[in-house]
Amino acid sequence: MAKTKAAPVVRDHTPQKTPYRAPLVAVTFLFFIWGFLTALNDILIPHLKAVFDLSYTQAMLIQFAFFGAYFIMSVPSGRIVARFGYQQGIVLGLLTAGCGALLFYPSASAPSYPLFLVALFVLAAGITLLQVAANPYVSVLGKPETASSRLTLTQAFNSLGTTLAPYLGGLFILKAGLRASDVMPSLSPELLQAFRLQEAASVKMPYLALAAALIGFAAVMAFLKLPVIASAEGHGHKPAGLFAALRHPHVVLGGLAIFCYVGAEVSISSFLINFLGQPDIAGLDATAAARFVAYYWGGAMVGRFIGSALLQRIEAGKLLGLFAAIAGGLVVTTSLTDGMVAMWAIVSIGLFNSIMFPTIFTLGISGLGHLTSQGASILVMSIIGGAIIPLVSGALADRYGIQMALLLSAACYLYILYYGMAGSRSA
């Protein structure tokens, strides 16, 4: 990749009048992009489940392939950021994600479920690099004491992406696929293959459009002049491995908190369309249920705007613990009730998920200095929870039903409560 023109180095002692607004606006758009791409998985799961006649466990391989990339690619991503800086890391991440989106075209043309999983892995590999670069960049791009508030605000635009994706995905992808599931059992093998080809094709245009947007924005980011935060990018220090950051207990405990948070959030969103379609819950068709997935992610967006203000007045760990306790209570309510109570309880969880990722992230990399990119790699690696916990939840749902499977998410929120109140104080 061609090197961009060197940007001026900004030291940590630079006066706060430094104009960080333009870089924050540019990087905030990245949060929107990867939020949109991530939430589209909630549409792909019921769509491909119907097209390929999958079990819940098999359908959750979508999340396993996507979030598994975070675990595999986070260490290489951290090294790329440490070596080349945040800006070039962002450009490479956008280009990689664009290539992953392009792979949806041959996957749908086959059609092949394994090829879809490969495309998702490549797409997520690019997003992993964006996460490793953009999250710590936002946290150090300003006053340390307002890092949680600042990252929560930018994450609100991530939630804007996750809110719009289910609505647009339901409009362009789900309508055809879920109608097909009603007639697929009566089709001959030849007609069934033709139907699968037709239904899988509904993802082609949306992902081609996303590929064009990703590659186009990579070109824009390559020519922007973003400030370099010297102490956070490792300037003047020998490259450090992950073990150096692992010596900090709050990083390790924060990684487990990220594992639990992403696993719980993704499990819940992955089940939503099928859960709301159950006769004893709401009996909604897939397109109507997709709107409630948008409400779930929209709650996270609203909560992040509110949380950004609250975090300037309330200690981050305490607010994190409070939100985790409420989210856990809502999961238990969802598991033990039915009808409208269960429906609105599960949708409301999104509001209290809102501050969790940015707050855990900033608490986890607090005080790391030149080890920031290594600490960020560990935290991003922990997003593997979005692969493991939904897969286990899918197996539980196949055996015991969705409501009982959701109790695993309640256990995740219990640990996040501990991290907010005690674990994060080991910094």
Nearest CA to 360 out of 302, 417, 309, 298 is that of: 417
Which amino acid would we find at residue 105? Y
pTM of the model: 0.79
Residue 172 confidence (pLDDT):
80
Alpha carbon distances (Å) from 90 to 75, 94, 345, 395 = 15, 6, 37, 36
Q: Domain of residue 275: give its range.
A: 15-426
Q: Note whether residue 10 is domain-resident.
A: no
Q: Which of 65-74, 153-162, 347-356 is least confident?
A: 153-162
Total domain count, the chain: 1
Query: Which neighbouring-strand residues pair with 228?
Result: 9
Q: Note whether residue 281 is domain-resident.
A: yes
Q: What pLDDT, in 10s, does the model give residues 243-282?
A: 677 788 888 899 999 999 999 999 999 999 999 999 999 9
Quick one: angle between helices 286-310 and 147-169, nearest 10?
Answer: 170
Q: What pLDDT, in 10s, does the model give residues 368-401?
A: 777 777 787 788 889 899 999 999 999 999 999 9
- Residues contacting residue 220 through CB under 8 Å, at least 6 positions apart: none
Q: Please give the Cα distance from 377 to 349 (Å, whole number).
A: 27
Q: Would you say 62 and 269 are in contact if contact means Cβ atoms under 8 Å apart?
A: no
Higher-pLDDT residue of 156 and 100 is: 100
Banded pLDDT at 228 (limits 50, 70, 90) = low
Q: Note whether residue 7 is domain-resident.
A: no
Q: Note whether residue 400 is domain-resident.
A: yes
Q: Note whether residue 1 is domain-resident.
A: no
Quick check: 81 pLDDT over 80?
yes
Which amino acid would we find at residue 424? S
Q: Which of 112-116, 140-144, 409-413 is least confident?
A: 140-144
Nearest CA to 284 out of 377, 205, 174, 368 is that of: 174
CATH number, domain of 387, equals 1.20.1250.20
What's the chain's Rg over C-alpha atoms? 21
Q: Note whether residue 5 is domain-resident.
A: no
Q: Please give the Cα distance from 275 to 46 (Å, whole number).
A: 11
| Phi (first) and psi of residue 198, to 5 degrees | -65, -45
